[in-house]
Amino acid sequence: MLEISNLHVAVNGTPILKGIDLTVRAGEVHAVMGPNGSGKSTLAHVIAGREGYEVTAGEIRYLDRNLLELAPEERARAGIFLAFQYPVEIPGVANIQLLKSALNQVRRARGEAELDAMDFLDYVQTRLALVGMKEELLYRSINEGFSGGEKKRNEILQMAVLEPRLAILDETDSGLDIDALKAVADGVNALRSHERAMVLVTHYQRLLNYIRPDRVHVLAAGRMVKSGGPELASELEERGYGWLDTTAEVGEARA
Amino acid sequence: MGKSENVGIGELMQEEYRWGFVTDIEQERVPKGLSEDVVRLISAKKGEPEWLLEWRLAAYRHWRTLSEPHWAKVHHPPIDYQDIHYYAAPKKKAGPSKLADVDPEILATYEKLGIPLKEQEMLAGVAVDAVFDSVSVATTYKEKLASLGIIFCAFSEAVREHPELVRQYLGSVVPHTDNFFASLNAAVFSDGTFVYVPKGVRCPMELSTYFRINANDTGQFERTLIIADEGSRVSYLEGCSAPRRDENQLHAAVVELVALQDAVIKYSTVQNWYPGDKEGRGGIYNFVTKRGDCRGARSRISWTQVETGSAITWKYPSCILRGDDAVGEFYSVAVTRGRQQADTGTKMIHIGKNTRSTVVSKGISAGEGSNAYRGLVKVLAGADNARNYTQCDSLLMGSRCAAHTFPYLEVKNDSAQVEHEATTSKIGDDQLFYLQSRGLSAEDAVNMIVNGFCKEVFKELPMEFAVEAQKLLAVSLEGAVG
Amino acid sequence: MRIAQEDRAAYVAAGRSAMEAGPSWLKLDRHEALENFFRAGFPAREAEAWKYTSLAALERQQLHSPAPGVEFLPDGLPAGHLLGYGNGYALSRSSALPESMLGRLDAALARTTLPAAARFGTLAGRESMLVALNTALWREGLVLHLPAQWRVDEPIFVVRTIDEDGAMVHERSLIVLEPGAEATVVELCNGRGDYWRNPVTEIFVGAQARLLYVRLVEDGVAATHTGALFARQAQDSRLDVLSLALGGQLTRQDIALDLAGAGASATLHGCFLAGGRAHVDHHTRIEHTAAHTQSREIFRGIAAGRGCGVFDGLIVVRPGAQKADAQQSSRNLLLSPHAEIDAKPQLEIYADDVKCGHGATVGRLDESQVFYLRSRGIGDAQARALLTHAFALEACAAVAPGTLRDWLTQRLDGALDRLVEGGRK
Ligand SMILES: Nc1ncnc2c1ncn2[C@@H]1O[C@H](COP(=O)(O)OP(=O)(O)OP(=O)(O)O)[C@@H](O)[C@H]1O
Ligand SMILES: [Mg+2]
């Protein structure tokens, strides 16, 4: 589904990603971990198509298309969803307004009929229940004045509504209380299917206790320095990143 | 801190006045008043070339067509421009012959400020011969600069030794027609400082007027011109934190900075002129025109100022961001107390593409002090992607002080991003209580809060200067919160 | 600049009938005001308050006092009291309120027993020459005077249409809410032609009274509008002012609020659209005279085409107005390369125990917001339109949700669509 090869990315001329390879197949869940500033969010933003990131080498293919050619909205309509690490506040635009326009755009792209107001509301109700969010938040401006946890839940609500094929969750678990974490995990698990793929960017094992990943990768200083099965996450939790030689080439580990 | 409960700096200053610095007996002066003849006389006394005389005269003729500006939020009795001596030959002053003769109160202030002994002697007006060492220090300093091709000398010396440079740049940033006080300065400027840093040279030390020979007696109409040639860097320090006296009430200085391609100029000021007595009498009127021209691409000019003195401060260090990718910065702390009035701020004129400017202004008003920020951010039509961020905060102490904010944002380019924010607040009782409950005295608590308030500006000052500035602030605000 | 002798006749002629009617004190006022105007003339660019706006074109224009015209009622006007003015003349009235509460100002001033009459002119003052000319030349006028505790639930619409080229119309309004009274007033200014509209409104909000006042400017594309609004608030009163400047060639609004009673609070919201070659200038002044007063000011400006928007907002905290709490925000969008915004937010503070702040921005839409919407599948143009509308609509928050707000939103949305359309061409 997603194939990233030798991806190099620079911001304002400074190289941030220095040769990333990553393949995600339909039905898989991948976890990406790594120290602060290693480039995880950069990778997520490049996949979603944010401006200001120069791809200096390499490519990203998604469902056999060249992803880098598509505008952000085209990527979204093709089924890519990014849950932001820092969700943006948009005063004056109601949450529900965004959900409705976005859903109908995506449905149109999928060749489905647009939902009318009634059907849309019914549909949103089912999704609200899934992520355990207060209905009141639907009518407030997007993320404005939301608590940290509410913002993260709102991202998951949008994901649940849009039903993407590839979801990238950038630290959606940070700053959540236990119940919220559970709700986010439930939301993710409910969407898990053999035709959907997920990439979870996280610092903590605790999310992975609820959502078992198929693969775990460690990103450090712009490179994937280690990949492994779910057990790698617990190892990282115990030992930190220090034991990995983050300056060395892919996969090399110090004793 | 100090034992003196209520002795503010104002009183100390008064002491200083009473103590020494009797007006000299044998100074050579031209009679009071201003005329073409006086301008000619000044120029002749200094042995200036014809072109400079012509320039002065043009300035004088223009000045006569202007009237004193009154838009600033400052009030003062009318200034009689015909009641001022415009020329006095530099002569040695009669002062105390050694430091031990200086009023102990003043010395205590110096002590608090942590001013080195040699500097204390100079400040206190101890006769120059007595400050033997500092002269030789200055000489070695000058030799080192000369080896790098850096010119750092008195303005009049530059006119004699480097006339082509002076002629090329003088008035190219602040024209002789610029404003009332700038024209007056151009007509009668006494002396000042000239700096030229050649291409690619990074000046290895902070340049400071303190080390310049003949730094004294530049008088009330000082003129500074600093040129940083392509790829060069220089940091210049003006003034010092110790209280300074001067028998001239009106000060109208002009500072011009020119930064060519890739050059960087950092200009830091600590201004602590006599603020006047409790009723505000006798304090210095400080009407200064300071402007930097970022003439070349990627050039950068940064103004940092700590203003605690003068009865009236009227000054707007500005940047003309002409070169593409040029950067202008203005960091300011202005303290007013007693009857002091400050109207200060900056102008950032964005002309080149991708030009950026940052303005951080911190005003502190105590007692009956009045503090105004006045700033202009102008983005011209061709200045694509210009960026400005302005932060302007006022701290109020006492129910009779005043704080004003007058920013102007003029934007003619749709790719520009201009942002201004201002806040006004008093030191919170809860903040004070919190610190006091942790064992700090009220005075220390205020100092801590004020220093926190000014931190963004202090961090822009060169190290030693920052330390002095902090102490100065503490002394200035002594007893401000009861 | 003084008005030249040969140009004075037009103004004298315009005032002929109005200036001779009414009580003698008023006649005297009018003559004095006209003399003052002749002596000082139109404000010039040299004056700080007119730095960004020139009335030179107006000064050169041949102006006359028009005959009564017609009023133009826009679509979907919500239910409420309705007064229609055409070219400054009162034409229609549909309201159950007695004429003494809602009616013509000239009639009210003729009855000197009316307490409202004593307030006439006391806020407008003598400094502004535009106000002086209005004082000299206004005719018929509008008064709203609500007795204590009187509440008017439905909005009062005042529709003012001008439809004659070269017309100058000086509209005068006096609004007095006695203690505890409540009302909503919407003044709609529309028309066609290159006329000059010069309205002056004085508002007194009594103790614990509440007023929502909306000025909706939809003047014709060639029109000049110089409006002045003055308000004074007594203790614990609440005043909400909304200024929507959506039309006209040159619009200038001077709005001055005085929070004179302890505990008074005010909001002043505005949104202006300057497209084509339009010039829209708001000058606002909020004075905190009494302690424990609160003000919130929010302005949103959008300039497109070769339009120019000006915001000059001053907040003054007078000595003794402790615990004043004032916040001001001016945010502006430039939608095209030749548009211009000049913003001048100002604070003048003479008390120490205050909470005051202001923020001003000029720029484009926030790209991170655009990206967020696009990453959810919304197209670039739609995302920008959505954000632009949301940006402008923040100004309407002053009006409680309901029919009136919906209608105002609709007017604003329509004008914004036209602006964005025009900007693309
Ligand atoms: N717009 C930008 N301008 C300059 N540097 C940037 C920009 N965006 C990212 N960087 C830098 O790129 C590096 C990678 O940032 P990124 O946000 O991808 O890290 P991260 O792995 O997500 O970290 P965290 O775990 O803290 O979220 C950091 O050093 C960051 O400072
Ligand atoms: Mg991150």
CATH of the domain at A238: 3.40.50.300
Chain C, 321 to 380: residues with Cβ < 8 Å from chain B are 322, 332, 334-364
Q: Which residue has the higher pLDDT, C365 or B83?
A: C365
Looking at this protein, which amino acid is placed at residue B217? D
- Which pLDDT score is estimated for B29? 65
User: Does the beta-carbon distance from C363 to B423 stay under 8 Å?
Assistant: no
> Among A201, A250, A208, which Cα is nearest to A232's?
A208
Q: Find the A48 Cα to ligand 2 centroid distance in Å.
A: 14
Ligand 1 close to Cβ of residue A39 (< 6 A) = yes
User: Does the beta-carbon distance from B399 to C319 stay under 8 Å?
Assistant: yes
Q: How far is A83 from chain C (nearest CA, A)?
A: 10
- Which pLDDT score is estimated for B479? 66
Angle at B341 between CA B336 and CA B347, to 5 degrees: 100
Q: Which residue has the tokens 């003034």?
A: B239
β-bridge partners, A82: A168
Which one-letter DSSP state was computed for residue B99?
A: G
Alpha-carbon span C329 to A180, nearest angstrom: 35
Alpha-carbon span A111 to A116, nearest angstrom: 16
* Cα separation of the two ends of chain C: 40
Residue in C334, C341, C352 closest to B398 by CB: C352
Nearest CA in chain C to A161: C376
- The SS3 of residue C150 is coil
Ligand 1 close to Cβ of residue A16 (< 6 A) = yes
The answer, yes or no, to whether residue A255 has pLDDT greater than 60, is no
Report percent pLDDT > 70 for chain B.
75
Q: Find the A68 Cα to ligand 1 centroid distance in Å.
A: 20
Q: How far is A45 from chain C (nearest CA, A)?
A: 10
Spacing of C-alpha B327 from chain mean position: 21
> Among B453, B459, B435, B313, which Cα is nearest to B373's?
B313
Structural domain for A120, as ranges? 2-253
Determine, yes or no, domain membership for C367. Answer: yes
The answer, yes or no, to whether residue B114 has pLDDT greater than 60, is no
Structural domain count of chain C: 1
The answer, yes or no, to whether residue B49 has pLDDT greater than 50, is yes
pTM here? 0.82
Structural domain for C333, as ranges? 65-424
* Cα separation of the two ends of chain A: 35
Report percent pLDDT > 90 for chain B.
37
Ligand 1 close to Cβ of residue A12 (< 6 A) = yes
User: Does the beta-carbon distance from A76 to C374 stay under 8 Å?
Assistant: yes
Using an 8 Å CB-CB cutoff, list residues of chain A that contact chain C. Answer: 48-51, 71-73, 75-77, 81-82, 84, 87-88, 90-93, 97-98, 101-102, 105-106, 109, 141-142, 158, 162
The predicted-structure confidence for B167-226, as pLDDT tens digits, reads as follows 999 999 999 999 999 999 999 888 888 999 999 999 988 887 654 433 344 457 889 999
Determine, yes or no, domain membership for C307. Answer: yes
Structural domain count of chain A: 1
- Which pLDDT score is estimated for B116? 58
The predicted-structure confidence for A43-55, as pLDDT tens digits, reads as follows 999 999 888 899 9
The predicted-structure confidence for B3-43, as pLDDT tens digits, reads as follows 333 333 333 333 332 222 323 334 456 777 888 888 998 88
Q: Find the A206 Cα to ligand 2 centroid distance in Å.
A: 18
Contacts of C380 in chain A (CB under 8 A): 71, 73
Contacts of C274 in chain B (CB under 8 A): none
Q: How far is A73 from chain C (nearest CA, A)?
A: 4
- The SS3 of residue C278 is coil
Q: Residues with Cβ < 8 Å from C295, sequence gap 6 or more?
A: C257, C259, C265, C266, C267, C268, C286, C288, C315, C325, C326, C327, C328
Alpha-carbon span A100 to A120, nearest angstrom: 7
> Using an 8 Å Cβ cutoff, are B258 and B294 in contact?
no
Ligand 1 close to Cβ of residue A41 (< 6 A) = yes
Ligand 1 close to Cβ of residue A83 (< 6 A) = no
Q: Find the A220 Cα to ligand 2 centroid distance in Å.
A: 12
- Which pLDDT score is estimated for B251? 82
The answer, yes or no, to whether residue B108 has pLDDT greater than 80, is no
- Which pLDDT score is estimated for B9? 30
The predicted-structure confidence for A179-194, as pLDDT tens digits, reads as follows 888 888 888 888 888 9
Low pLDDT (below 50) residues in chain C: 425
Q: Which residue has the higher pLDDT, C186 or A251?
A: C186
Contacts of C382 in chain A (CB under 8 A): 101
Determine, yes or no, domain membership for C9. Answer: no
Ligand 1 close to Cβ of residue A37 (< 6 A) = yes
- Which pLDDT score is estimated for B246? 55
- Which pLDDT score is estimated for A82? 92
C and B: touch, per 3+ CB pairs < 8 A?
A: yes
> Which residue has the CA at smallest separation from atom 27 of ligand 1?
A36
ipTM above 0.90, yes or no: no
- Which pLDDT score is estimated for B125? 46
Spacing of C-alpha A49 from chain mean position: 13
The predicted-structure confidence for C25-34, as pLDDT tens digits, reads as follows 899 999 999 9
Tokens matching residue B308: 């605690």
Alpha-carbon span C129 to C44, nearest angstrom: 11
The answer, yes or no, to whether residue B235 has pLDDT greater than 50, is yes
Determine, yes or no, domain membership for C356. Answer: yes
- Residue range A213-241: mean pLDDT, rounded: 86
β-bridge partners, C297: C268, C328
Alpha-carbon span B139 to C160, nearest angstrom: 80
Alpha-carbon span B184 to B60, nearest angstrom: 7
Ligand 1 close to Cβ of residue A51 (< 6 A) = no
